[in-house]
């Protein structure tokens, strides 16, 4: 101890200039903080420590080791054992010692995932504050090594995430104090399980402000696998443009929470920001500006950025509803009108929100253009696992008041009844499904559709083949049966109920006075407590574990763009993540402490996650309790 103090004095002497910046706080008080923490009944309790006390047990050390699950988020599902000791180490001595994998491709992915992991750990180390000195390393800490070994089993050749990909992993941390070595071993069936393990490992490491160095829990065993296969977030980049940088940030945060699907709602009536080589007119007429366009390279960058973080990108091309801007050029080129009811007034008669617009399904040229769009999308979003065909909010009145479509009906000897229009729509749907090209790697791509008139209990059998489509259900489970009928009919289902998982609600209507139709803001507690199994069980009497693929939080972006994206998605997206990965039996209350910490972690990694409590509650665990 005397040695290190001498070193400190020398440095003090040599940095006189910096020392002059030292505030009197330090001359008055010997420690950065008058508090220390101890773990009592799985809770970190704050104590006043004596001014001469040498052994500071800092908050981060306590958080890492206190409670059965420490600060792991989402909570592992099978086994978690965490010792109550940490060892300090220097970032430069954290290394990937071994990566065993069946192919070089998987090995490369593992190396990338490790680099990302190490980058995340580095983000935990704060910038030095010129007002304070950081403590100097003890010499044995300087020697401490952390070796990571990853083994992916021989069958794990997968490099793209599919619905049947095994995401499980086993993680062990063992520290040998005699040779200052911490061995981390990761075993997984696929790359995707292995990268989740690295994510867990990053949550076993924290910066210790009192010591000025990183620390890792010394002994750990975790066995983990997700409860649901599909754990998604919807990003709408059409109502307002969202930059590639912000999408990257979203993917970073998703990866930190082991979410695995980015549903990219890339076009809508309001704008068409996707650049298509085969149809440049679409974005020329349809984007908000020349700067608000996703080029081909942007898209492939996002897909790759997601893939190495264990995330699949599911592109959505909305049709036949939610189509308008971007299609203005077709008439002039002699292809006829392809979008109808665009900007028709009053909008409330022709669509659910302005601006209106739907595809002209009576125009045969529309299919030609759609083929081009699908082919290019399949190409730039490759490798594709799933494709979202949209199918949401089709306004039959729009078609019913469009002469071209009505006469098309008459020509075919159909009347103007609701059923005729639904027939026409389903015909459109099966046409575009057949048009959609197969993926080179993955074969025929499975489709996703929003729930709609076509998916209703009476019609679904007639119109949609459960082997071809997964249905994403968005109604409010408080008012209606949302997934029960679909499950009974054998459809695979993704739950996105608006009463819990619509994260855009609560900011008021954007066209008129009063509140948005989806009601109030969904607090993280409501997001956490929304259990797909409970919904299925209420509506069908069983959990439907086979058919219920998972869930997705939805962020429609009418009132969101780069400026507010992070604060609206996070940390609530993390609450969704634990529901879908862990699917705990308990409600949000036992998760609160870890949840607050997960928010801190997201913030550390550069995500502008919103606060959910005063910091006081983070430092005084369990004192902000329910009355």
Partner 1 sequence: MRVLAAAAALIVAAVSAQDFYRLSSPYSYTCLDNFCVRQLRTEVPSYRSQAECQLTCGEYGSLLPHPTGKVELSKEGVHFNPEHFQVTKMAVPDQQVSKMLEEAVRYTKRNLHFLHPEFPSQFKTPYTEKEKVQYVRENPRQFIRQSTKFNQETPQEQTQEPEPDQTELYESWERFSPFLSEKYSPRINRHKVNMEITVNNPVNKLRLDTDESYQIDVKTTGDDTLVTIQAPTFFGARHALETFTQMIAFDESNNALMIIKDASVTDSPKFKYRGFMLDTSRNFYPKEDLMRLIDTMAHNKMNYFQWHITDAASYPMYSEHRPEMAYYGAYSSRKVYYPEDIKEIVEYARLRGISVVPEISGPAQNNAGWQWGEKNGKGRLVLCAGEKPWFEHVKEPVDGHLNPVNPEVYNILGEIYKDVVEYFDPDMMHVGGDGVSFKCWQNSNDIKEYLAANALESNSEQMFKLWNIYQNNAYTKLTEAAGPERKVTPIIHSSSFVRNYINKDNYIVQVNEPSSDPAAAQYVKDGYKVIFANLDQWRVDCLDSSWYGEKSEKCPLETPTWRNFYENSPLDNLQSIPNIRDGQTPESQALKNNVLGGIVSLYSSETDGNGLDTKAWPRVSAMAERLWSDPAKSPQGFDTKLKRLNVHRERMVARGTKANPLQPGICLLDESSCYSKEEYAARSANIPQTP
How far lies 535's CA from each of 16, 495, 513, 539, 581, in Å?
Answer: 66, 9, 32, 6, 17
**Exposure on the CB side of residue 178, measured as CA atoms within 13 A:** 0
> Per CB under 8 A, does 52 bind partner 1?
no
Question: Binder to partner 1 among 97, 98, 140, 615 (CB under 8 A)?
Answer: 615
- At residue 212, the 3 state secondary structure works out as coil
Residue bearing tokens 């971007």: 326
How far lies 445's CA from each of 387, 429, 441, 488, in Å?
Answer: 7, 15, 10, 24
> Per CB under 8 A, does 616 bind partner 1?
yes
> Per CB under 8 A, does 613 bind partner 1?
yes
Contact pattern from residue 310 through residue 349 relative to partner 1, giving x for each residue in contact according to CB under 8 A and a dash for the rest? ---------------x--x--------------x-xxxx-
Question: Binder to partner 1 among 300, 401, 538, 564 (CB under 8 A)?
Answer: 564
Q: Which stretch binds partner 1 (CB under 8 A): 91-99, 433-441, 482-490, 611-619?
A: 611-619
Q: Which of residues 429-448 bind partner 1 (CB under 8 A)?
A: none
- Cβ distance to partner 1 smaller for residue 102 or 506: 506
Helix (DSSP H) and strand (DSSP E) numbers for the chain? 23, 21
552 included as an active-site residue? no
Q: How far is the CB of 475 from partner 1 (least distance, A)?
A: 22
Torsion over CA of 123, 125, 127 and 132, rounded to 10 degrees?
170
Query: What CA–CA distance (Å, rounded) separates 128 from 286?
Result: 47
Q: How far is the CB of 34 from partner 1 (least distance, A)?
A: 6
Any idea what the Cα angle at residue 621 is, between residues 616 and 627, rounded to 5°?
A: 90
Q: How far is the CB of 347 from partner 1 (least distance, A)?
A: 8
393 included as an active-site residue? yes
- Cβ distance to partner 1 smaller for residue 8 or 546: 8
Q: Which two tokens stand for residue 316?
A: 């959505």
Torsion over CA of 115, 116, 119 and 121, rounded to 10 degrees?
-110
Contact pattern from residue 541 through residue 560 relative to partner 1, giving x for each residue in contact according to CB under 8 A and a dash for the rest? ----------------xxxx
> Per CB under 8 A, does 511 bind partner 1?
yes
Q: How far is the CB of 523 from partner 1 (least distance, A)?
A: 4
Query: What CA–CA distance (Å, rounded) separates 159 from 102?
Result: 11
Q: How far is the CB of 75 from partner 1 (least distance, A)?
A: 21
How far lies 506's CA from each of 250, 518, 567, in Å?
Answer: 21, 8, 14
Q: Which of residues 182-221 bind partner 1 (CB under 8 A)?
A: 209
Q: Do residues 480 and 498 touch, judged by C-beta distance below 8 A? A: no
> Per CB under 8 A, does 455 bind partner 1?
no
Question: Binder to partner 1 among 304, 509, 541, 586 (CB under 8 A)?
Answer: 509
> Of these residues, 263, 265, 322, 388, which one is catalytic?
322
Q: How far is the CB of 78 from partner 1 (least distance, A)?
A: 31
Q: How far is the CB of 36 from partner 1 (least distance, A)?
A: 13
Question: Binder to partner 1 among 103, 292, 296, 365 (CB under 8 A)?
Answer: 292
> Per CB under 8 A, does 270 bind partner 1?
yes
> Of these residues, 141, 252, 268, 376, which one is catalytic?
268
Question: Binder to partner 1 among 147, 285, 367, 543 (CB under 8 A)?
Answer: 285
Q: Which stretch binds partner 1 (CB under 8 A): 80-88, 277-285, 315-323, 531-539?
A: 277-285
- At residue 571, the 3 state secondary structure works out as coil
- Cβ distance to partner 1 smaller for residue 25 or 438: 25
> Per CB under 8 A, does 33 bind partner 1?
yes
Q: Which stretch binds partner 1 (CB under 8 A): 184-192, 412-420, 470-478, 523-531?
A: 523-531
Query: What CA–CA distance (Å, rounded) separates 599 from 34?
Result: 25
Q: Roughly what angle, to the nearest 10 degrees, separates helices 418-435 and 403-411?
A: 90
| Phi, psi angle pair for 543, to nearest 5° | -75, -20
301 included as an active-site residue? no
Q: Give residues with Cβ within 8 angstroms of 472, minimum separation 6.
A: 388, 448, 449, 450, 451, 493, 494, 496, 552
Query: What CA–CA distance (Å, rounded) separates 329 from 327?
Result: 6
Q: Do residues 171 and 186 touch, judged by C-beta distance below 8 A? A: yes
- Cβ distance to partner 1 smaller for residue 132 or 543: 132
- The closest of 472, 305, 447, 462 to 389, measured between CA atoms, is 447
Question: Binder to partner 1 among 203, 271, 497, 530 (CB under 8 A)?
Answer: 271
Q: How far is the CB of 323 from partner 1 (least distance, A)?
A: 13
- Cβ distance to partner 1 smaller for residue 129 or 465: 129
Radius of gyration of the chain (CA): 27
> Per CB under 8 A, does 367 bind partner 1?
no
Q: Which of residues 153-182 bind partner 1 (CB under 8 A)?
A: none
Q: Which of residues 235-254 bind partner 1 (CB under 8 A)?
A: 239-241
Query: What CA–CA distance (Å, rounded) separates 391 from 322?
Result: 9
Report strand pairing: 213-217 vs 548-555. unpaired
Question: Binder to partner 1 among 147, 284, 367, 543 (CB under 8 A)?
Answer: 284
- Cβ distance to partner 1 smaller for residue 418 or 563: 563
> Per CB under 8 A, does 517 bind partner 1?
no
Contact pattern from residue 567 through residue 596 relative to partner 1, giving x for each residue in contact according to CB under 8 A and a dash for the rest? xx----------------------------
How far lies 467's CA from each of 273, 396, 483, 547, in Å?
Answer: 32, 27, 17, 11
Q: How far is the CB of 210 from partner 1 (least distance, A)?
A: 10
Give the Cβ contact number of residue 146 at 10 Å: 23
Q: Which of residues 120-149 bind partner 1 (CB under 8 A)?
A: 126, 129, 131-132
Q: For the chain, what is the largest distance between any 2 Cα atoms, rounded to a whole number of angstroms?
A: 97
- The closest of 603, 552, 510 to 236, measured between CA atoms, is 552
* Total chain residues near partner 1 (CB under 8 A): 82
DSSP state of 364: T
Query: What CA–CA distance (Å, rounded) separates 61 from 597?
Result: 13
> Of these residues, 142, 393, 562, 610, which one is catalytic?
393
Question: Binder to partner 1 among 102, 124, 355, 590 (CB under 8 A)?
Answer: 355
Q: Which stretch binds partner 1 (CB under 8 A): 23-31, 69-77, 86-94, 419-427?
A: 23-31
- At residue 253, the 3 state secondary structure works out as helix
Question: Binder to partner 1 among 11, 176, 412, 510 (CB under 8 A)?
Answer: 510
Provide the annotated active-site residues: 268, 322, 393
């Amino acid at each position: 101890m005397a040695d290190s103090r001498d070193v400190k004095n020398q440095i003090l002497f040599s940095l006189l200039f910096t020392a002059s910046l030292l505030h009197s706080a330090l001359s008055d008080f010997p420690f950065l903080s008058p508090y220390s923490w101890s773990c009592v009944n799985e809770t970190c309790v704050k104590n006043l420590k004596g001014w001469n006390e040498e052994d500071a047990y800092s908050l981060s050390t306590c958080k890492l080791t206190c409670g059965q699950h420490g600060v792991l988020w989402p909570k592992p599902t099978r086994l978690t054992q965490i010792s109550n000791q940490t060892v300090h180490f220097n970032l430069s001595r954290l290394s990937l010692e071994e990566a065993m994998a069946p192919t070089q491709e998987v090995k490369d992915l593992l190396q990338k995932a490790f680099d990302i992991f190490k980058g995340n750990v580095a983000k935990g180390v704060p910038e030095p504050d010129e007002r304070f000195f950081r403590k100097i390393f003890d010499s044995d800490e300087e020697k401490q090594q952390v070796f990571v070994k990853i083994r992916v089993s021989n069958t794990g050749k997968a490099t793209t995430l599919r619905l049947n990909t095994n995401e499980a992993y086993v993680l062990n941390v063992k520290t040998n104090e005699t040779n200052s070595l911490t061995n981390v071993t990761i075993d997984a069936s696929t790359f995707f399980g292995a990268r989740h393990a690295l994510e867990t490992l990053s949550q076993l490491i924290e910066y210790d402000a009192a010591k000025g160095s990183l620390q890792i829990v010394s002994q750990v065993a975790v066995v983990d696998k997700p409860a649901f296969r599909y754990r998604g977030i919807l990003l709408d980049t059409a109502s307002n443009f969202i930059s590639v940088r912000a999408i990257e940030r979203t993917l970073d945060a998703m990866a930190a929470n082991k979410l695995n699907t980015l549903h990219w709602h890339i076009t809508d009536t309001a704008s068409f920001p996707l650049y298509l080589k085969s149809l440049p007119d679409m974005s020329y007429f349809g984007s908000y500006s020349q700067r608000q366009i996703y080029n081909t390279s942007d898209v492939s960058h996002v897909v790759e950025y997601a893939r190495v973080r264990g995330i699949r990108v599911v592109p959505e091309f909305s049709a036949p509803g939610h189509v308008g801007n971007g299609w203005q050029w077709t008439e002039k080129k002699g292809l006829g009108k392809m979008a109808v009811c665009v900007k028709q007034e009053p909008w409330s008669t022709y669509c659910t929100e302005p601006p209106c617009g739907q595809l002209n399904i009576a125009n045969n040229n529309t299919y030609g253009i759609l083929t081009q769009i699908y082919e290019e999308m399949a190409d730039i979003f490759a490798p594709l696992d799933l494709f979202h065909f949209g199918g949401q909010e089709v306004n039959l009145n729009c078609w019913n008041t469009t002469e071209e479509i009505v006469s098309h009906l008459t020509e075919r000897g159909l009347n103007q009844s609701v059923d005729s229009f639904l027939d026409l729509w389903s015909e459109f749907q099966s046409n575009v499904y057949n048009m959609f090209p197969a993926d080179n790697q993955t074969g025929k791509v499975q489709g996703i559709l929003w729930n709609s008139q076509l998916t209703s209990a009476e019609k679904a059998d007639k119109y949609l083949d459960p082997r071809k489509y997964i249905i994403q259900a968005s109604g409010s489970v408080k008012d209606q049966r949302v997934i029960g009928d679909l499950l009974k009919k054998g459809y695979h289902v993704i739950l996105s109920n608006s009463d819990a998982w619509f994260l855009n609600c609560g900011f008021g209507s954007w066209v008129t006075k009063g509140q948005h139709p989806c009601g109030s803001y969904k607090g993280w507690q409501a997001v956490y407590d929304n259990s797909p199994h409970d919904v299925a069980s209420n509506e069908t009497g069983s959990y439907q574990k086979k058919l219920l693929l998972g869930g997705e939080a939805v962020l429609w972006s009418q009132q969101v763009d780069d400026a507010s994206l992070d604060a609206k998605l996070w940390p609530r997206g993390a609450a969704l993540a634990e529901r879908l990965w862990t699917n705990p039996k308990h409600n949000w209350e036992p998760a609160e402490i870890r949840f607050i910490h997960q928010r801190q972690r997201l913030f550390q990694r550069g995500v502008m996650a919103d606060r959910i409590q005063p910091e006081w509650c983070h430092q005084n665990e369990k004192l902000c309790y329910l009355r």
